[in-house]
């Protein structure tokens, strides 16, 4: 789990809890610090862990204690969630409630473990919650996906079965009416008896119709929930867990569509291949937790600077790609260069340790779509320009040479 850091006032709003800065963007006045120290955080974590084990242990209670009455369980859970949010200075947002509820419920072991590690470090911040929820929401295993497909098939079979049965019932109803009419003509039944027979037959058909409608309504609700789950599965499959950006797979899909559209509309298309400089040194010096925070920070900087005509994705490791639609290669260069210069002007400090991280920079290569080349070829040209930027000293943006 990443160590939370602070940002300067000049950074985007979502970054302000990531870094403290020195240098051109340094805030004036005193440096912000946590109200609670490490000992306080550990004490809170210890007390909270005891409370959780006492209320939601394996058997639901400590030895010699009785479980809370069923009617009080919701009230107790509500109180625990509120205490959890208050003790960790978390705003009562839906995401924070979801994490706290899942933690006390204990059904997601991965989430519980992640929360407990964060509590032990005194690191239960809003940013940590985002990380934990992102990680724990991406467990879309092949087994789960297969289960969703099975649910879809079962729902379709149910609907088909209800439609077939409704058709058969309607046909049987029509035949029964014809038979009843013929019988009534051949018998000396009283009119009220004839009417009663027809009413019974009609009531039976109405009841069957209602049953079919209820079944279709319930199946429709299940299918709606299933569509939501499948949409989430697709989102997860195309998202990078750490940064929240699109992943390489999503980028490649978008690149193919963008190339085809650019050729059809005769509009420009450009992309940038970016790589954080000396990232291994950052990890080796400050640890992978700070490294993760740097990746998230740079991802946000790129996304914030790119605008609406740009699709930003994490390509892998410390590499990012930016796809600019209806933007010339020169315009894309200006955007990426401005982002590079802004990041290079910052001096970052880890919030918890106070250790200076210093300057974080990236290098980038920019290429535009030309001729009949494919998206992969354009990406290769941008990668070549990135390689030149690295070899010429890093912390620079170069346009691909053609």
What's the CA gap between 304 and 29, in Å, rounded?
27
Q: Angle of helix 109-121 relative to helix 126-136, nearest 10 degrees?
A: 160
Contacts of 27 (CB under 8 A, 6+ apart): 8, 9, 20, 21
* Ramachandran angles phi, psi of 90, nearest 5°: -100, 135
CA distance 84 to 105: 13
What distances in angstroms separate CA 221 from CA 59, 140, 152, 230, 235, one per listed residue? 34, 22, 12, 14, 21
The rounded radius of gyration (Å) of the Cα atoms in the chain is 31
Residue 366 bridge partners (DSSP): 272, 399
Catalytic annotation, pick one of 21, 127, 289, 318: 318
Contact, 84 vs 104, CB < 8 A? yes
- Residue 353 in contact with residue 32, Cβ under 8 Å? no
Question: Which SS3 state, helix, strand or coil, does residue 287 take?
Answer: coil
Per DSSP, the three-state class of 339 is helix
d(CA 366, CA 377): 12
Give yes or no: 392 in active site: no
Which residues are marked as active site? 318
């Amino acid at each position: 789990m990443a160590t939370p850091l602070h940002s300067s006032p000049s950074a985007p709003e979502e970054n302000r809890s990531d870094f403290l800065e020195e240098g051109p963007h340094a805030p004036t006045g005193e440096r912000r610090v946590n109200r609670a120290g490490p000992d306080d955080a550990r004490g809170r974590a210890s007390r909270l862990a005891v409370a959780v084990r006492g209320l939601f242990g394996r058997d639901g209670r400590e030895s010699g204690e009785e479980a809370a009455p069923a009617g009080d369980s919701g009230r107790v859970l509500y109180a625990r969630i509120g205490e959890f949010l208050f003790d960790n200075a978390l705003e009562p947002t839906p995401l924070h409630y979801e994490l706290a509820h899942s933690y006390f419920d204990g059904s997601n072991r991965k989430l519980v473990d992640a929360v407990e590690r964060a509590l032990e470090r005194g690191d239960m911040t809003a940013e940590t919650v985002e990380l934990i929820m992102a990680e724990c929401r991406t467990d879309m295993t092949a087994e789960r996906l297969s289960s969703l497909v099975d649910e879809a098939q079962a729902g379709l079979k149910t609907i088909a079965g209800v439609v077939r049965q409704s058709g058969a019932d309607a046909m049987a109803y029509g035949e029964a009416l014809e038979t009843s009419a013929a019988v009534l003509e051949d018998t000396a039944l009283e009119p009220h008896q004839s009417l009663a027979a027809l009413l019974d037959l009609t009531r039976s058909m109405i009841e069957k119709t209602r049953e079919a409608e209820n079944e279709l309504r319930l199946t429709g609700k299940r299918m709606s929930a299933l569509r939501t789950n499948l949409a989430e599965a697709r989102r997860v499959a195309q998202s990078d867990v750490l940064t929240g950006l699109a992943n390489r797979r999503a980028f490649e899909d978008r690149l193919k569509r963008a190339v085809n559209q650019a050729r059809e509309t005769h509009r420009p298309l450009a992309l940038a291949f970016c790589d954080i400089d000396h990232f291994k040194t950052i990890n080796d010096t400050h640890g992978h937790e700070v490294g993760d925070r740097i990746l998230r920070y740079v991802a946000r900087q790129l996304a914030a600077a790119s605008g609406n005509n740009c699709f930003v994705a994490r390509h892998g490791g410390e590499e990012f790609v930016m796809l600019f639609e209806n933007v010339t290669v020169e315009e894309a260069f200006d955007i990426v260069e401005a982002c590079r210069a802004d990041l290079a002007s910052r001096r970052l400090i880890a919030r918890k340790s106070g250790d200076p991280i210093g300057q974080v920079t990236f290098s980038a290569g920019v290429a535009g779509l030309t001729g009949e080349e494919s998206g992969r070829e354009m990406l290769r040209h941008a990668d070549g320009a990135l390689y030149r930027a690295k070899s010429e000293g890093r912390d620079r943006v170069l346009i691909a040479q053609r």
